[in-house]
Structure 1
Amino acid sequence: MAKRGHRQTTLRETLPGLRRVVMRMLPYLRQHRMLVAGGSTALVASVLAKLLEPWPLKFVIDHVVQVGDGVAGTGSPFLDGLSLQTLLLVCAVGLVAVIAVRALCEYGAAIAFALAGNRVLTRVRADLFRHLLALPMAFHSRSKTGDLTMRLISDVGILKETAVTAALPLAVNTLILFGMVTVMLVINWQLTLIALMPLPLLWFSSRRTGRKIQTVSRKQRRNEGDMAATAAEIMTAMRTVQALGVEKEIAATFEGDNAKSMKAGVKVKRLSAGLERFVDVLTALSIALILYFGTLFVLDARMTPGDLLVFITYLKNMFRPVRNYAKYVARLSKATAGGERVIELLDTSVTIASTPDAKPAVITKGRIELKDVTFGYEPKSAAVLDAVSTVIEPGQSVVITGSSGTGKSTFVSLLMRLYDPDKGCITIDGTDLRAVELASLRRQISFVPQETLLFRASVRENLALGAGRPLADATIEAAARIANAHEFIMALPDGYETELTERGGTLSAGQRQRIALVRAYLRISPILILDEPTVGLDSANEAAVSDAIWRLAKGRTTLLITHDLRLATKADRVLCLQGGKIADDGKHTDLVKRGGPYARLWAQQRKPGDVLAAE
């Protein structure tokens, strides 16, 4: 018995989940209504053929076997007067025809539902991926990458089980059940009631087992999502894992999660198999009752032997939809659990989005102004930026620095509208960012991240990523020369056509960074943002990247987030953040002379022998 506080979900509570999933899929299914209608029609036709299957046997038993010889007297104007041999031949041909029609209809239904299911699956997955791309950074920072991948690939896949390949066939199986019960009532209502006596016991068992399977399936999907998240995190940090020598500990953790998932899967299979076998036993019990009482009815001439044969055939087929329910209940439960996870993701609101009356962003100068901007990542947490106000003039190069956690990355994240301020506003060329179309705003900002995004494609294709326009080879190569990237690209095996590995693993950090600078140059935007562009580079790569940065900065409003204050010596201005506020603001030389927070950072970083602009 379940303990208090851990009550298992009842069937009545699980049905809304299934209903919610199916209703959410209806708009997608309506786009393929002809396929679904055709598949449903074929299934209904197969039901009718299924109902006709035992009737040729009935005619053989009642009008051939019992008569023995002579002329058929079936009561049908089409069959009366036929010889028994001819009637036997007609029944044999009729049986083959009925089964052939049923097989053809079931084949057509299977193809129609498979096409509709795969098309729905493709559309749902595309919409979910597009929705994921639109969700704000606040959502992605809280989410596990592996779990999101699991929902996108695996959970969307099993939605097909719920919406098409399980729910619709089960609905038609219900038609079979009611159709056969109706015909059985017409043949002999007393015998039908006897046949249905085990059904309450079957309903109780299915309800009890179904809720257990639903509970276990939900837990299994959560375990699989956590396992996928763990695997994704480890794969992206494989270098660190091997360097620390913690492979055994990591493997043990993963194996523990894997074992939990395996146990849940085995439990679902055991429950489902147990329900199927229980249906088999109840079917045998019902057939035994009909065999006993039906034979008595035949002996009393209350029904013919053929009627009894039809009755027993229907009875076996009547329990088959119930047995199919037992077979599908695990799949439906698992699909419902996965479907609820997909719908939860689709229902997550896109809080950073363009308003209906937003206009395309038109940035001509690149003047940036923050007015009393306050922002915190969590509603009750301390503000990362606290009432920050500043103006960055068009064409200025500004270094944003400060100790870790002072809001440097937050500053530029707000500028790109990855987040919105809790208070205050940010304007570019006098226009509030919340009043312009999000996509058009980001297209006019070039961003060079600390970790360069590279795809498994040629160098040329990676360089052109995000340019937003067709690029001639000569244009790409000219940009590569400006970013000090042309020389190392030409040294690659196939030059610009060299295929890069995933995340550019065959390139050095400096080479990857210079590819990012080429992209920024090709974007041709009024505003350039660089996040720690020289971190982790050796002196040669640092010099090449630094030189490229100042070439790219010409004519653009440029923001550099950096701890490397040697870059600050060449910038027009330095903003030093401390405690969520601008603690120092001015030129490098002036701030060093002032002796404030920035001067202390400079003193800590400066090396003996440095001869910089501050001197």
Structure 2
Amino acid sequence: MAERIRRRALTRTLRLLAPDAGAHKGLLTGGVIALLAEVGFRVLEPWPMKHVVDSVSASLGADVSHRPATLGLLLWLGAAQVALTALRALTNYLATVAFALAGSRVASSLRARIFRHVQGLSLQFHARNRSADTVQRIVSDVARMQDVVITAGLPLVANVVTLVVMVVVMAVLDPLLSLVVLGAIGLFVLVSAGNSRRIAVAARRTRTGEGHLANTAQESLSAIQVVQAYGLEELIAERFGSANRTSLRSGVASRRLSARLERTTDGIIGVATAVVLVGGGLRALAGAMSLGDLVLFTSYLRTTMKPLRDMAKYTGRIAQATASGERVADLMAVRPEIVTPAHPVRIGRAHGLVRLDDVHAGYEGAEVLHGLSLAAAPGEIVALIGPSGAGKSTLVSLLVRAQDPTAGRVSLDGHPLCELDLDELRANVSLLHQEAVLFTGTVRENIRLGRRGADDAEVEAAARAARVHDFVMELPEGYDTVVGERGGTLSGGQRQRVAIARALLRDAPVVILDEATTGLDPASAALVLDAIERLVAGRTTLAVTHDAEVALRATRVVWIEDGRIVLDGPPQELMASSRAFRDWVAAGGHARDGTRVGGPP
């Protein structure tokens, strides 16, 4: 069973690499040719020494069928030795460079393919899986696969070919002594089989442990403010230490098994060499082989035993690469839930009519929206309010097609979202989250992400409209000031206004605001609301909010509770007709779970 699992893992790894390796067939073919040439020169390399020994023996009176040594013959054999060694070194260099280039290019292509794949996976996948482990699979697991192809795969292929050729040549030279070599190879195969399985298991545990270690470090560092504020340094350090010790134990186990296999192989090689030296010496004394033949045979023996030693050394590395390959293959096996249809409907720039008709949706089998129907027309600002967990964020996910409904239909301008090109759909929507996400780079670059072809004047115009320009000009380098990771060098209100400038530059007909003012102080919130007014003017806008001021500025308020709409109308009418809405407004809209309608008024 373990052997089948190991072979399956290796097969999955090779299949994973095949599409990227296929693009570099020429380079790989050249590497293989150079590799085979190196094996040929390695086979020929001991022959000048054999002829030198036999010619010198003949000159000293030994009964061998070889011409006596002369200065010219020895110089010629010396030159032949230099030429063969140089050619072997050259072909080895060419093969190494070819495989190194191919390995680097395949790894780069594979890494890009994995990253594109991961970006297309659903939000549910990213919610269930820890980002540090995913990053480790993309970066370090692919790097380990690449490293093994260069440092272990190439030598292993060369050694296997060399082993086969050398055994054939030795069988021709002396069939009896070649049986000793075959016996040593058979014993190595028996010893390595069990060890290889255990090394592969330990390697998989090591990679899993390293993934947990990366997750622990990433989680604690991303929440360093909370860690320090609550004095959690020791607790988090202990968690990291526990994960570190687990990873260490698995890594030591893998290395210990690899070392044991290498030393056992050394013992097998030592015994085989001793038997060949004794047996070959006796056969030379008996005249069954010349002294040069014995030297040639022992040279081949040494060359043949090196592949066995190397195969033992590389078994651990190959097991690690297979474990990494299996982790990457598992990631690639996850199928995107949201994809562009084979023949999408093209709508260009949408007018902005958004509809949800009898929509049911949920997560992990739990339904959140129960037959919800809603329409928003161009120019309309719809505030979505209600207690936490009512389904508002699920509704937002449906509108940008981060998930699909389990029943019902979500449409834009009358076209079901599942029939539209995914990139085209999302180009028609500007989404502003509660936590404005900025990327490491300049303020200008972050705004330009809204429309990458925009020039500096358009970027500045969007910044002015979003009330960004004044505070940006106070920064050390203005628009060329680099913001920290996730915009950490700016305040929450500043980050949100930069995000609004980005959305303004995008100029999408549909705007979705997801708690855009939550967590801001009154002054910052006022500036953000002013910028939002410019953003939503003339556009279809849906604003998820717990802020009463945002709701009162809307043209229409929709109260969602338990996945259903329980209130729907202009805010002024609801203020007059609904006590629950008046109480919600009186509380500032922030009583997230305390105010409930409980059913239609």
* TM-score, normalised via structure 1 length: 0.93
User: Is 1:52 matched with 2:44?
Assistant: yes
The SS at the match of 2:476 is: coil
- Specify which of 310, 321, 339 is matched with residue 353 of structure 1: 339
User: Is 1:146 matched with 2:138?
Assistant: no
- Counterpart CA distance in 2 for 1:20 and 1:320 is 29
Higher mean displacement: 122-131 or 21-30: 21-30
- Counterpart CA distance in 1 for 2:82 and 2:457 is 72
- Cross-structure match for 1:550: 533
User: Is 1:40 matched with 2:54?
Assistant: no
- Cross-structure match for 1:453: 437
Question: What letter is aligned with 1:449?
Answer: H
- Counterpart CA distance in 2 for 1:599 and 1:427 is 32
- Within a 5 Å distance, the mapping from 1:479-490 to structure 2 comes to 479-490=462-473
**How many angstroms does 1:305 deviate by?**
1.4
- Cross-structure match for 2:385: 401
The SS at the match of 2:363 is: coil
User: Is 1:229 matched with 2:189?
Assistant: no
- Cross-structure match for 1:263: 249
- Counterpart CA distance in 1 for 2:58 and 2:7 is 51
- Within a 5 Å distance, the mapping from 1:66-105 to structure 2 comes to 66-68=58-60, 74=66, 83-105=69-91
- Counterpart CA distance in 2 for 1:175 and 1:84 is 36
- Counterpart CA distance in 1 for 2:19 and 2:477 is 48
**How many angstroms does 1:597 deviate by?**
4.4
1:136–1:86 distance in 2 versus 1, CA, 3 Å: same
**How many angstroms does 1:428 deviate by?**
1.1
Higher mean displacement: 522-531 or 495-504: 495-504
Deviations 1:557-590 (A, max 9, x none): 1111110111111101111111111121112222
Aligned length: 590
Q: 2:432·2:514 contact (CA, 8 Å) conserved in 1? A: yes
- Counterpart CA distance in 2 for 1:110 and 1:478 is 55
Ranges in structure 2 where 5+ consecutive residues have no aligned partner:
591-601
Ranges in structure 1 where 5+ consecutive residues have no aligned partner:
1-8, 75-79, 608-615
Deviations 1:97-129 (A, max 9, x none): 211111111111111111111111111111111
- Cross-structure match for 1:160: 146
Q: 1:401·1:577 contact (CA, 8 Å) conserved in 2? A: yes
- Cross-structure match for 2:503: 520
Q: 1:25·1:163 contact (CA, 8 Å) conserved in 2? A: no
- Cross-structure match for 1:385: 369
* TM-score, normalised via structure 2 length: 0.95
Deviations 1:260-281 (A, max 9, x none): 1122222211111111111111
- Counterpart CA distance in 1 for 2:35 and 2:308 is 17
- Specify which of 499, 524, 527 is matched with residue 541 of structure 1: 524
- Cross-structure match for 1:246: 232
Deviations 1:467-510 (A, max 9, x none): 14x22322222222221111111111121121212211111100
- Cross-structure match for 2:557: 574
- Cross-structure match for 1:467: 451
- Cross-structure match for 1:421: 405
- Counterpart CA distance in 2 for 1:596 and 1:184 is 98
- Cross-structure match for 2:6: 14
- Within a 5 Å distance, the mapping from 1:333-372 to structure 2 comes to 333-372=319-358
Q: 1:466·1:523 contact (CA, 8 Å) conserved in 2? A: yes
User: Is 1:284 matched with 2:276?
Assistant: no
User: Is 1:299 matched with 2:282?
Assistant: no
- Within a 5 Å distance, the mapping from 1:598-609 to structure 2 comes to 598-605=581-588
Q: 1:213·1:271 contact (CA, 8 Å) conserved in 2? A: yes
Higher mean displacement: 10-19 or 478-487: 10-19
1:336–1:508 distance in 2 versus 1, CA, 3 Å: same
- Specify which of 192, 197, 204 is matched with residue 190 of structure 2: 204
Deviations 1:507-551 (A, max 9, x none): 110000000111111111111111111111111111111111112
- Counterpart CA distance in 1 for 2:46 and 2:210 is 47
- Specify which of 96, 109, 115 is matched with residue 129 of structure 1: 115
**How many angstroms does 1:389 deviate by?**
0.8
User: Is 1:591 matched with 2:577?
Assistant: no
1:50–1:354 distance in 2 versus 1, CA, 3 Å: same
Of all paired residues, the percent bearing the same amino acid is 41
The SS at the match of 2:344 is: coil
- Cross-structure match for 1:64: 56
- Cross-structure match for 1:179: 165
1:497–1:606 distance in 2 versus 1, CA, 3 Å: closer
What's the RMSD between the two structures over aligned residues? 1.9
**How many angstroms does 1:606 deviate by?**
6.7
User: Is 1:318 matched with 2:304?
Assistant: yes
The SS at the match of 2:373 is: strand
The SS at the match of 1:398 is: strand
Question: What letter is aligned with 1:100?
Answer: A
Question: What letter is aligned with 2:422?
Answer: L
The SS at the match of 2:548 is: coil
Q: 2:167·2:181 contact (CA, 8 Å) conserved in 1? A: no
Q: 1:365·1:394 contact (CA, 8 Å) conserved in 2? A: yes
- Cross-structure match for 2:418: 434
